[in-house]
């Protein structure tokens, strides 16, 4: 296939669905149909997708453990003027998926690299989680071993941007329990499970509550996960929160939750809604 703008062959980075097949774009189907070759992470897995959309293009396997000879072969197809579409098992290639080395080498050879954007679990989760989206950090999969995982979380404990992790069903519970310990019981977080699929679940709460939720039902630990953690408060905001907690503790001894929250909002200038929620939590701890 010929790249529409430059008239040269290209490496197309094609996003495929993360569950719901309806999420593939018209352009993705056109590119996959007209490419000379599709490089896929798992050809058997991807052949189900290509069959579904009537795509007859030859599939070759390309993954992180591919030999450099396989990568060289793909690059020589590109250098010979043929077009290659790169896909992964799901979502956007290169996002916790293979392709970085191929793209870097293609660009260094002046082969045009053209993105065909579409589904990606991290952006799907972020846009629906209700956490700040203006600045965020994507950390991919946390380490499997607990020591390394906690160390990573500790290094991120003061990060003010929204944190985003991918997690597997085997480790989701341990990971949430570690987050609870390191980021603190009150930190807000959102667990996004099985996005775009039948059992899609987007569940937000404090890490204390999420630790209980994840253990409460086997179904809560099934499927694919994105976990988002609210960023840490700015240091002076953190001090103000501590001061608000102190005032709430005192007032809750004498007043109902609503009144205590309203008074602390007046004194500190913090939002009434947030203080009301916090006062409910503190009242529940008594």
Where along the sequence are the contacts to ligand SAM (CB under 6 A)? 18-19, 88, 90-92, 95-97, 120-122, 166-168, 192, 194-197, 224-226
Shortest Cβ 124–ligand SAM spacing (Å): 7
**Phi, psi of 94, deg, nearest 5:** 80, -20
Instruction: Please say which residue, 49 or 121, places its beta carbon nearer to ligand SAM.
Output: 121
To the nearest whole angstrom, how small is the minimum distance from the Cβ of residue 268 to ligand SAM? Answer: 38
Closer CB to ligand SAM, 1 or 84, in the complex: 84
Q: Is 91 helix (H, G, I), strand (E, B) or coil?
A: strand
Tokens of 123: 């952006």
Q: Which of residues 66 and 92 has its CB atom nearest to ligand SAM in the complex?
A: 92
| Residue of 52, 26, 15, 18 lying closest to 196 (CA atoms) | 18
CB of 92 to ligand SAM, least distance (A): 4
Neighbour order of strands in the sheet with 113-116: 59-61, 37-40, 84-87, 11-14, 113-116
Cβ atoms of 145 and 151 within 8 Å: the answer is: no
Three-state SS string across 102-133, please?
A: HHHHHHHCCCCEEEECCCCHHHHHHHHHCCCC
Nearer to ligand SAM, 105 or 222 (CB): 222
Tokens of 190: 């959102």
Is 121 or 248 the residue whose CB approaches ligand SAM more closely? 121
- Residue 169 beta carbon to ligand SAM: minimum distance, rounded to whole angstroms: 8
In the bound complex, what is the minimum distance in angstroms from residue 194's beta carbon to ligand SAM?
5
């Amino acid at each position: 296939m010929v790249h529409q703008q430059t008239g040269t062959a290209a490496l197309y980075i094609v996003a495929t669905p993360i569950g719901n097949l309806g999420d593939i774009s018209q352009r993705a189907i056109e590119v996959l149909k007209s490419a000379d070759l599709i490089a896929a992470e798992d050809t058997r897995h991807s052949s189900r997708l290509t069959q579904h959309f009537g795509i007859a293009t030859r599939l070759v396997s390309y993954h992180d453990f591919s030999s450099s000879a396989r990568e060289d072969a793909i690059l020589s197809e590109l250098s010979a003027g043929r077009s290659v579409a790169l896909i992964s098992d799901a979502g956007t290639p290169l996002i916790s998926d293979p392709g970085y080395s191929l793209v870097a080498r293609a660009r260094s050879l002046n082969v045009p690299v053209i993105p065909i954007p579409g589904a990606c679990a991290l952006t799907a989760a972020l846009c629906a989680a209700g956490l700040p989206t203006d600045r965020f950090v994507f950390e991919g999969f946390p380490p499997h071993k607990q020591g390394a995982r906690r160390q990573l979380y500790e290094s991120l404990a003061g990060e003010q941007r929204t944190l985003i992790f991918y997690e597997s069903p085997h480790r989701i519970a341990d990971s949430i329990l570690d987050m609870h310990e390191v980021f603190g019981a009150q930190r807000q977080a959102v667990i996004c499970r099985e996005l775009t699929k039948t059992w899609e679940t987007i569940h937000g709460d404090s890490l204390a509550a999420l630790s209980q939720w994840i253990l409460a039902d086997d179904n809560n630990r099934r499927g694919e996960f994105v976990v988002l953690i609210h960023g840490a408060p700015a240091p002076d905001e953190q001090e103000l929160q501590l001061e608000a907690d102190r005032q709430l503790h005192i007032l809750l001894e004498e007043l109902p939750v609503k009144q205590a929250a309203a008074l602390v909002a007046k004194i500190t200038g913090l939002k009434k809604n947030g203080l009301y929620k916090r006062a409910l939590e503190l009242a529940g701890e008594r």
